[in-house]
Amino acid sequence: MAEQAFQKFEQSIEKIERVEKVDPTKSTVEIDPTEEVSAPQKVKFDEALTRADSKWDAANPKTNLVAAEDPVQKLSPIDQMSVNSHRIERLKPVTVDQIVQQADTLRANIQAPIARIEESQKATPNARISPAHDALLTDKLIHVDSSLKTALNKVGVEVTAQEIQQTSGQKPLVKFLNMLSNSDRQLFTLVGEVSAMQNSKERLTPEKLLAVQIKLGFVQSELEFFTNVLNKALEGTKTVMNVQV
């Protein structure tokens, strides 16, 4: 009995030792869970600040001008003088010679569509232009005619308005040819009046010369547009005629 009691006592001691035995590789200090997540949160917070700074710099580029490495390049004195001379050149008043040269250039440009129309009439007498092209081209020539009348009025020439109804029954190519020829006559009259005033006591004011120059510039742009559209319209008509044949 004594031996059995002693064996039970030893077993109880072994159990106590196994329970209280601590692994030396493991720490017994309790870790606050808030400390475990604080480091990742700090990293995320730093990344968020970095993204916010980048967005602010992108949205406000002016704040980085001070830190720019490349300084603003200044023009040299010679280049600055050249720029100023061009500016002064633009401020000079319009001369009669400039108006005459501009009008002569327009007269030469008008000859191109006139020759194109006459060539098309000889090659294909029955050529037709679509209503859309007809309306667009007619509108451009009406604007040309209106601008030339205004320019002539500036130099003292009274021009009666052309009745659009007079050309409504004509074929498109015939109508264009007549309107272009009329514009050429108006330019010829303008050159003659301006040249005559240059040699007389009655001179045009700088304001009137500038107004004439502006109107002639508008005529130039309208005429270029008309010529481009006319060429495309005639090419399309020629293609259609060849297909029908």
In a domain, 111, yes or no: yes
In a domain, 59, yes or no: no
Banded model confidence at residue 10, pLDDT cuts 50, 70, 90: low
- Residue 22, both tokens: 């601590």
- Residue 2, both tokens: 């004594």
Q: What percent of the chain has pLDDT over 70?
A: 55
Banded model confidence at residue 108, pLDDT cuts 50, 70, 90: very high
The model's pLDDT over 224-235, given as tens digits with 9 standing for 90+, comes to 999 999 999 888
- Residue 146: domain span: 94-244
In a domain, 12, yes or no: no
**Where does residue 16 fall: left (phi above 0), alpha (psi -120 to 50 degrees), or beta otherwise?**
alpha
Banded model confidence at residue 82, pLDDT cuts 50, 70, 90: low
3-state helix, strand, coil in the chain (%, to 5): 75, 0, 25
The model's pLDDT over 161-208, given as tens digits with 9 standing for 90+, comes to 555 545 556 789 999 999 999 999 999 999 999 888 877 766 778 888
In a domain, 120, yes or no: yes
| pLDDT for residue 80 | 66
In a domain, 129, yes or no: yes
Question: Under 8 Å CB-to-CB from 216, ≥6 apart: which residues?
Answer: 99, 102, 103, 106, 147, 151
Question: Under 8 Å CB-to-CB from 98, ≥6 apart: which residues?
Answer: 213
Question: Under 8 Å CB-to-CB from 151, ≥6 apart: which residues?
Answer: 190, 211, 212, 215, 216, 219
**Which residue would you say has higher pLDDT here, 70 or 93?**
93
Mean pLDDT estimate for the chain = 74
In a domain, 164, yes or no: yes
In a domain, 35, yes or no: no
In a domain, 24, yes or no: no
The model's pLDDT over 43-68, given as tens digits with 9 standing for 90+, comes to 666 676 677 666 656 655 544 444 44
Q: What percent of the chain has pLDDT over 90?
A: 35
* Number of structural domains the chain divides into: 1
